Structure 1
Amino acid sequence: MFERGGVSGVTKMNGQAVSPIGGLRGMTWRKKEESRPSAVKTKARIGNWKALLLIMGIGFLLGRAVILLQLLPFTIPFLAVIFKWRRSMTLPASFALIAGSTSLSFEYAGHTTMAILLYFLLQSIMLKVDKKDLFLPVTVFTVVAATRMISLSLQQEASLYHLFTASVEGALAMIITLIFLQSVPLFFERRKHLNLRHEEVICLVILIGSLLTGTVGWLIYQLSIEHMVARYIVLIFAFTGGATIGATAGVIMGLILSLANVAHLFSMSLLAFAGLLGGLLKEGRKLATASGLLVASLLMAMYADNQAPLTITLYESLVAVGLFLVTPKKWTDRLAGYIPGTTEHAQEQQKYLRKIRDMTAGKVEQFSELFLSLSRSFSFHDKNEVQAEKDREVDLFLSTVTETTCQTCMKKHQCWAKDFEKTYSLMERIAEDCEEHGKIKDRGLAASWRTHCLIDQKVVDTVNSKLKERDGEKRIRHQLLESRRLVADQLIGVSQVMGDFAKDIQREKKVHDQQEADIKESLEDIGIDVEMVDVYGLEPGNVDIEMVLPQNNYNEAEKVVAPLLTNILNEAIVVKFTEAVSSSGPETKVLFGSTKTFVVEQGVAHTAKGGKWVSGDSFSTMEIGEGKYALAISDGMGNGRRAHIESQETIDLLKRILLSGINETVAIKSINSVLSLRSNEEVFSTLDLGMIDLQTGIVKFLKVGSTPSYIKRGDQVMSIEAGNLPIGMIREVDVDVVSEQLKAGDLLIMMSDGIYEASKMVENKDIWMKRMIREMETNDPQEVADLLMERMIRESEGEIHDDMTVLAARIDHYAPKWATIASPAQNWA
């Protein structure tokens, strides 16, 4: 029955209120879902049926697997693994095992049934104690040994031999349990990336061999099924895994089959030799691998003491070869992808790593775009929005003034209703004049306002008082805007760094087979036998080559190999790293890489005002990444500890931001924002930064309130200067970037204002400084810094009136310690 719930239109069904429309629709959908299974459920059911049939097939074969004429060590281990791995299929697995044993004899069937019942009884007890099945192998040992002991005692009187036999079968079952725990789930794995360890491969081969023992005695036209399948399996493993895996599979298969039937003992030699020979010939594809089995069959049949007729052995091998030849290539490639050490496995790993790399790069790019979007949200609006914001501020300010003045005036209606434009314009001009001068300085404006307003002076006083309140609000608003600017700049910098990082992640190792062969051939021509050459990169300025040399006792890598690579690549190559391959042999692994085109030699002279210990100047030189060198001087305002703290924090911030990979212009703007927000005190610092590209020789100067820098080239001296205010003085700093091309032998000199303004008697300090630098007869950076410092102190009559810092650097071509040798150069462009 349905009851209509009055005005609300709610339907009651079984005591619960549901929507008259949505509820019925929901019922319809649920009925449809319940009436037909989804595609996922159908697929799961099909998968369960396949797993069930496979388990029953394996159980039937293992139920027939008898070794040493009477032992059944495979049944209970398989049942225990199924109980642990997929408990819902334990009962079908039990029936399959009993069915397999029944196909042998009722005696074996009774033994298997008794073992299964005893296992279920003992397992139900162990579940109460060992819920995680940690003692599963012990349980299997107990069940198998007890069952064998009971069977033998029923047939004969119990003896020590019976106990020994039962113990051996139990120990075998316990070991097989550990093997099945690793191998049985592999039959049912549906993972896309299944990487087998060598131990798992061996366990899988043992399981397959155990299954083959269940086919002992099956014949097709007098051809043994277990022999044909075993040889086929060995061919598959030899072709996919090589000689090692093939020989291992052959030995294991032959051993298990010989345990099942002693007459098959010669099979171990045949299968092992076939696996070894087929694995060695795998490069010749399937036909070569198959020929390995045929050769092994002929040899073993000739020396097998007529245990098997030659024709039967050849026919069995030919059937295995036929099955092997018709096996689809995708099956063998998939199996090879699971076996470590194979080319297919390496390719699968590369595909997986490439996928992970692309996913990582994609995530990094998404973060880069996110930070860029966040920076835009923190950035400032366009000019129209800024002007509209200013107009709103004026309206709000004038409204606060009129609240305490015009609201109580009798001419309010006259001024703000009839003469709105005139009143608003006059008050706006008054506010601007008072903000600039503190009073109405324009006499015409004052006269107009007196004739227009009855309470003119009260309005002016109110404007002045409100302006003072607004100054505090504007200061807070400016700090907020500056914080937003700082966050925006930092987010842009982080976005750029993460974008570059994503590009670096996506770089792949290119194949340089021809270049590796050319290097080995060139080294062999001069008498060096290189064991291994790996070329990882040949980009100009980023060459990366790894070699294994037979020895490096006489520095052959530095004296011979590096010059040879330099001549071949037309780029200076040096030894980056060396290490011994092993502690016993002389083999040495050497890493070669590009050196920088230029090197920097520096010198510094530094002193505090009055010869004190603490200076207000700070400086730093650092190598940034691969190929950039930075020189920086910061001068804090004043002298002493406070100035030193200011300049040192500026240098430390600069160093950390530059080392993170953020652009130098963004770095300086960020430092300015941090220092201007940190304190309301007027404490500023200058910054003089020079960034040298060691590959191109281009230097970028970023000067913020600093003195000029100088470049000496022979007898010429050039000055580099910019007119920016010190860091922290204004909210938004403009950073002028000046670039110059340096040449080998150029001398770069940077200084603080204590050096530049040391002489009070000189009017044109720039020309005077150029002349002093030009007259110096040395190009040694340290000597230049010391001489300049000494000259400035002499000019000040021995007094140190300010903190002084001189930073000198000379740029030169990189000169290796070896000389190049002649060798035919290869064109690898």
Structure 2
Amino acid sequence: MEKMLKKEGGGMQGEMIVQQSQQSAMKFLQNVRTKVESLFIDKGLLLFIVGFLLGRAVILSDLSPFALPFFGAVFCLRKERAGIVMLALLAGALTNILLNSGFMLIGMVLFLFTAKLLNRRNLLTIKWLPFTVFAISIAARVILTYLSQGTLQNTNWILAGVEAGLSFVLTMIFIQSMPLLTLKKIKHSLKNEEIISFIILLASVMTGTIGWFLYGFSVENILSRYLVLIFSYVGGAAIGSAVGVVTGIILSLANIASLYQMSMLAFSGLLGGLLKEGRKVGVASGLLIGTLLIGLYGGGAETIYVTLIESILAIGFFLLTPKSAFAKLARYIPGTREYSQEQQQYLRRVRDVTANRVEQFSSLFQALSNSFSNNNFHHQDESAEREVDIFLSHITEKTCQTCFKKENCWAQNFDTTYEHMKGIMTELEDGTEIHNRILKKEFDKHCVKSKKVIELISQEMSHFQANRKLKKQVKESRKIVAEQLLGVSQVMGNFAKEIQKERDNLQHQEDQVMDAIKGIGLEVSGIDIYSLEEGSVDIEMALPYCQGRGEGEKIIAPMLSDILNETITVKKEVCAEHPDGVCRLYFTSAKDFIVETGMANAAKGGAWVSGDSHSTIELGSGKYAIAISDGMGNGERAHLESNETIQLLQKILQSGIDETVAIKSVNSVLSLRNTDEIFSTLDLAMIDLQDANAKFLKIGSTPSFIKRGEKVHMVEAGNLPMGIIQEFDVDVVSEQLKAGDLLIMMSDGVFDGVKNVENPEFWMKRKIRELQTVEPQAVADLIMEEVIRTDEGLIKDDMTVVVAKIKRNIPKWSTIPIYSAPSFKRKKAL
């Protein structure tokens, strides 16, 4: 046993030693990486190397358009490194052509002098830097030519203009490329223009290696092919061929003998990018094929050996390059997988930050709601008692202070005096007379100034009641604000949860679905899958001009239904307006149930304007709302009241607030707004389209009826009309509906319109049971007609009937089976 324990202990100790060694190695590599970055970026070694090679770079035998643009860009963007770059440029020129060192020295001195003058007027900016370099380049070349030859010819002026023009363009290119040489981390993805500018900079730097040989092999050829290999591997055929063309053009300008290199580099970059799926071996094969083909064409069999060895050396450097370097470069090039991952990480960070801020606001609104709400009933009772005490003390101050029995009443018989005055105060709250004769008789015996006290209480009672009403309104206003803040807090909390739902990377599934659809001969321009969660599928598809044939509804949706194993429907279809356009289809999960509605209404006396309003709202949360509001009275004023109730409720429900909170909010707004006796009722039914569960919220409204076959069930709840009282509890009634059920909702003008019937509930049930049709519109018309006919053709009140039929959602088109349909895992709905 001891041996086993020792063995286990030794194994654990060995694992700890290995982990410590790995951590030490990682820490060492991190330190080395940090020191190298500091040496090249912070100390300016990279800029020195680039400046040295650009100082050597020459095109058309003796033109050097690279030095001044690079010096100007460094001077404007990294002024503290201008001295190092100046020395590097002069050192590079001295190793190649001495005359160019004089041109650079004159040009940089003129630039420093001009910069000093322009800085006084704040004119040396990025915008004006290319023009400044253009003028100084011409001046420096003219001065150098005159000093060396003693005369100026037309050819000299032309060459000076060409060199200055190139310097003008290169200045703008180097300005865009400079951050890539001076920043440790680039915080944004590279645009195509920035990529090309960086390639031009690298090609310009490689021009400085012309004349360098490694065991007889050209360094510039090896580096240029290595550069093409890197960008073909990272960016694909488009980037690889572009890098080959740009690099080849610049190298051929420096050395006319290298003109064929442009064709080879471009072709190799194209082939390497196309063979990118073969990883490094595929890209290297592209370079070898391009070298063999273009090499034989350019120099024949005599030079193919040297060219092939140069390509093999470039491939060797390429294979030795670590994957981390490619991954780091790929993060900044659009279209790469690393770039997509970087963008997703950035969007994830933005999403998390946004969700946290929304949650903070939700918590803030929750705290504000708690501060406004007043649920401490004990505190409310104490406040009411204190108001009574203050009122009675005010009465006592005017009556009892000068009374000779003050000591007897308030010192010896405090409780009796207090209870008598409080009782009288209670009696006078509703009128000016005391109905409790016993209380009045006892108070007359107890108080010598009873008549004066009663009169004063009666006079002051109106002020007391007004003050109490004002405080009550303030309290109710606070409650309204608390409810609204609570609703906003809930909506923002739900919104934060939606934000935090990360969109999965469904690229593989998109390719599978596209292949399956193209497999039957349909052309698809593109597919974007945003969600494959059961019950919440969200797919967008682009098709060529469809001529309105309905391919999405008839073919694609049934195919998707078979692939995803659930019914998919076309949520929206945007057809192209011309043959060259693109049609866009939006697919979503079909709900298990649908609601078909019918409506009938009539105004009192056959008038044009009815005091009833109704609405059917399909909410984005998979719910269907049916609402009827009856404004008090008739005519335009009642219509405005009921319509405003419906519109306000609709907007609140569509914002995502719970229906109970929504109704309380509407009631609170109406109760505060109403200055006269104008109220409205509300009958709301919320139907869940996934399970057909219905919630009924009835505010002063008449019962509703559910017909299922030959059975009729009545749904009712007791709540006062909206706007009468500020504080009330909404009575919610839940009913489970089934396919084929009829939901019949009506206003009081229909339910109470039958005056000659003793039991309207039984009569309405019987009439609904006897209906021979199940079409919602026909049912609504028949009920309305029956009520009017029973009342001798008179319409004595506004009438509204809304009938909803619950139906199973059966698609119009059958599922189209695909025998090669892809299969993939999907998230289940919560």
> What TM-score does the superposition give when structure 2 sets the normalisation length?
0.87
**Counterpart check, 1:78 vs 2:70:** yes
Q: Percent identity?
A: 50
AA matched with 1:202: I
- Give the aligned partner of residue 372 of structure 2: 378
Instruction: Measure, in 2, the Cα distance between the counterparts of 1:581 and 1:680.
Output: 54
Instruction: Measure, in 1, the Cα distance between the counterparts of 2:127 and 2:106.
Output: 24
- Of 652, 677, 680, 2:675 maps to 680
- Give the aligned partner of residue 631 of structure 1: 626
Instruction: Check 1:378–1:692 CA distance in 2 against 1; reply closer, same or farther (3 A cut).
Output: same
Instruction: Check 1:270–1:519 CA distance in 2 against 1; reply closer, same or farther (3 A cut).
Output: closer
Instruction: Measure, in 2, the Cα distance between the counterparts of 1:821 and 1:48.
Output: 63
- Of 362, 370, 373, 1:368 maps to 362
- Give the aligned partner of residue 662 of structure 2: 667
Give the deviation of 1:161 after TM superposition. Answer: 1.9
Query: What are the superposed Cα offsets for residues 560-579 of structure 1, whole Å, 9 maximum, x if unpaired?
Result: 33223334444332223445
- Give the aligned partner of residue 104 of structure 1: 96
How many residue pairs end up in the alignment?
787
Q: How does 1:196-235 map to 2 (within 5 A)?
A: 196-235=190-229
Give the deviation of 1:359 after TM superposition. Answer: 1.3
AA matched with 2:603: A
Give the deviation of 1:433 after TM superposition. Answer: 3.4
Q: Is the 8 A contact 1:532 1:547 kept in 2?
A: yes
AA matched with 1:404: K
**Counterpart check, 1:795 vs 2:790:** yes
Query: What are the superposed Cα offsets for residues 83-114 of structure 1, whole Å, 9 maximum, x if unpaired?
Result: 32233443443333223222224322222212
Q: Is the 8 A contact 1:184 1:207 kept in 2?
A: no
- Give the aligned partner of residue 187 of structure 2: 193
Instruction: Measure, in 2, the Cα distance between the counterparts of 1:400 and 1:112.
Output: 99
Once the two structures are overlaid, the 10-residue window that deviates more, 469-478 or 146-155, is 146-155
Instruction: Measure, in 1, the Cα distance between the counterparts of 2:794 and 2:574.
Output: 55
Instruction: Check 1:569–1:297 CA distance in 2 against 1; reply closer, same or farther (3 A cut).
Output: closer
Q: Is the 8 A contact 2:47 2:181 kept in 1?
A: no
Instruction: Measure, in 1, the Cα distance between the counterparts of 2:575 and 2:215.
Output: 62
- Of 275, 283, 296, 2:277 maps to 283
- Give the aligned partner of residue 93 of structure 1: 85
Instruction: Check 1:495–1:399 CA distance in 2 against 1; reply closer, same or farther (3 A cut).
Output: same
Give the deviation of 1:557 after TM superposition. Answer: 3.2
- Give the aligned partner of residue 694 of structure 2: 699
- Of 380, 383, 391, 2:385 maps to 391
- Give the aligned partner of residue 131 of structure 2: 138
Instruction: Measure, in 1, the Cα distance between the counterparts of 2:516 and 2:213.
Output: 62
Q: How does 1:10-21 map to 2 (within 5 A)?
A: none
Q: Is the 8 A contact 2:687 2:693 kept in 1?
A: yes
Unaligned runs of 5+ in 2: 1-33
Unaligned runs of 5+ in 1: 1-41
Instruction: Check 1:638–1:310 CA distance in 2 against 1; reply closer, same or farther (3 A cut).
Output: closer
- Give the aligned partner of residue 343 of structure 1: 337
Q: Is the 8 A contact 1:375 1:487 kept in 2?
A: yes
Instruction: Measure, in 1, the Cα distance between the counterparts of 2:632 and 2:283.
Output: 83
Instruction: Check 1:285–1:571 CA distance in 2 against 1; reply closer, same or farther (3 A cut).
Output: closer
Once the two structures are overlaid, the 10-residue window that deviates more, 164-173 or 525-534, is 525-534
Q: Is the 8 A contact 1:631 1:691 kept in 2?
A: yes
Once the two structures are overlaid, the 10-residue window that deviates more, 422-431 or 248-257, is 422-431
**Counterpart check, 1:434 vs 2:417:** no
Instruction: Check 1:297–1:760 CA distance in 2 against 1; reply closer, same or farther (3 A cut).
Output: closer
Give the deviation of 1:634 after TM superposition. Answer: 1.4
Instruction: Check 1:49–1:235 CA distance in 2 against 1; reply closer, same or farther (3 A cut).
Output: closer
Instruction: Measure, in 1, the Cα distance between the counterparts of 2:573 and 2:754.
Output: 53
- Give the aligned partner of residue 147 of structure 1: 140
AA matched with 2:429: E
**Counterpart check, 1:465 vs 2:451:** no
Once the two structures are overlaid, the 10-residue window that deviates more, 194-203 or 210-219, is 210-219
Instruction: Measure, in 1, the Cα distance between the counterparts of 2:521 and 2:275.
Output: 33
Q: CA RMSD in A?
A: 3.1
Query: What are the superposed Cα offsets for residues 292-344 of structure 1, whole Å, 9 maximum, x if unpaired?
Result: 44454455555553798656545544443343333332221111111111111
Instruction: Measure, in 1, the Cα distance between the counterparts of 2:495 and 2:660.
Output: 20
SS at match of 1:542: coil
- Give the aligned partner of residue 417 of structure 2: 423
- Give the aligned partner of residue 765 of structure 2: 770
Instruction: Check 1:49–1:658 CA distance in 2 against 1; reply closer, same or farther (3 A cut).
Output: closer
Instruction: Check 1:108–1:306 CA distance in 2 against 1; reply closer, same or farther (3 A cut).
Output: farther
Give the deviation of 1:582 after TM superposition. Answer: 11
- Give the aligned partner of residue 249 of structure 1: 243
**Counterpart check, 1:621 vs 2:613:** no
Once the two structures are overlaid, the 10-residue window that deviates more, 563-572 or 45-54, is 45-54
Query: What are the superposed Cα offsets for residues 16-45 of structure 1, whole Å, 9 maximum, x if unpaired?
Result: xxxxxxxxxxxxxxxxxxxxxxxxxx99x9
Instruction: Measure, in 2, the Cα distance between the counterparts of 1:393 and 1:666.
Output: 32
Instruction: Measure, in 2, the Cα distance between the counterparts of 1:514 and 1:331.
Output: 26
- Give the aligned partner of residue 14 of structure 1: none
Give the deviation of 1:646 after TM superposition. Answer: 1.7
Instruction: Measure, in 2, the Cα distance between the counterparts of 1:725 and 1:505.
Output: 39
Instruction: Check 1:513–1:216 CA distance in 2 against 1; reply closer, same or farther (3 A cut).
Output: closer
- Of 532, 536, 539, 1:542 maps to 536
- Give the aligned partner of residue 67 of structure 1: 59
Instruction: Measure, in 1, the Cα distance between the counterparts of 2:154 and 2:581.
Output: 59
Q: Is the 8 A contact 2:546 2:575 kept in 1?
A: no
- Give the aligned partner of residue 477 of structure 2: 483
**Counterpart check, 1:114 vs 2:114:** no
Query: What are the superposed Cα offsets for residues 251-308 of structure 1, whole Å, 9 maximum, x if unpaired?
Result: 2223222222233334334433433333233333334433444454455555553798
Q: Is the 8 A contact 1:368 1:498 kept in 2?
A: yes
Q: Is the 8 A contact 2:41 2:184 kept in 1?
A: no
Give the deviation of 1:798 after TM superposition. Answer: 2.7
- Give the aligned partner of residue 55 of structure 1: 47
**Counterpart check, 1:506 vs 2:500:** yes
Once the two structures are overlaid, the 10-residue window that deviates more, 521-530 or 171-180, is 521-530
Instruction: Measure, in 1, the Cα distance between the counterparts of 2:209 and 2:517.
Output: 59
- Give the aligned partner of residue 23 of structure 2: none
Instruction: Check 1:519–1:201 CA distance in 2 against 1; reply closer, same or farther (3 A cut).
Output: closer
Once the two structures are overlaid, the 10-residue window that deviates more, 416-425 or 477-486, is 416-425
SS at match of 1:195: coil
Q: How does 1:739-754 map to 2 (within 5 A)?
A: 739-754=734-749
Give the deviation of 1:686 after TM superposition. Answer: 1.0
Once the two structures are overlaid, the 10-residue window that deviates more, 726-735 or 431-440, is 431-440
Once the two structures are overlaid, the 10-residue window that deviates more, 484-493 or 553-562, is 553-562
- Give the aligned partner of residue 7 of structure 1: none
- Give the aligned partner of residue 29 of structure 1: none
> What TM-score does the superposition give when structure 1 sets the normalisation length?
0.87
Give the deviation of 1:476 after TM superposition. Answer: 0.9
- Give the aligned partner of residue 784 of structure 1: 779
Query: What are the superposed Cα offsets for residues 475-500 of structure 1, whole Å, 9 maximum, x if unpaired?
Result: 11111111111111111111121122
AA matched with 2:144: S
Instruction: Measure, in 1, the Cα distance between the counterparts of 2:293 and 2:785.
Output: 95
Give the deviation of 1:156 after TM superposition. Answer: 6.1
Q: How does 1:305-324 map to 2 (within 5 A)?
A: 305=299, 312-324=306-318
Instruction: Check 1:346–1:703 CA distance in 2 against 1; reply closer, same or farther (3 A cut).
Output: same
Give the deviation of 1:212 after TM superposition. Answer: 1.5
SS at match of 1:408: coil
Query: What are the superposed Cα offsets for residues 645-687 of structure 1, whole Å, 9 maximum, x if unpaired?
Result: 2222212211221222211111111111111111331211111
Give the deviation of 1:207 after TM superposition. Answer: 0.4
Instruction: Measure, in 1, the Cα distance between the counterparts of 2:770 and 2:597.
Output: 20
Instruction: Measure, in 2, the Cα distance between the counterparts of 1:217 and 1:763.
Output: 114
Once the two structures are overlaid, the 10-residue window that deviates more, 773-782 or 287-296, is 287-296
Instruction: Check 1:822–1:89 CA distance in 2 against 1; reply closer, same or farther (3 A cut).
Output: closer
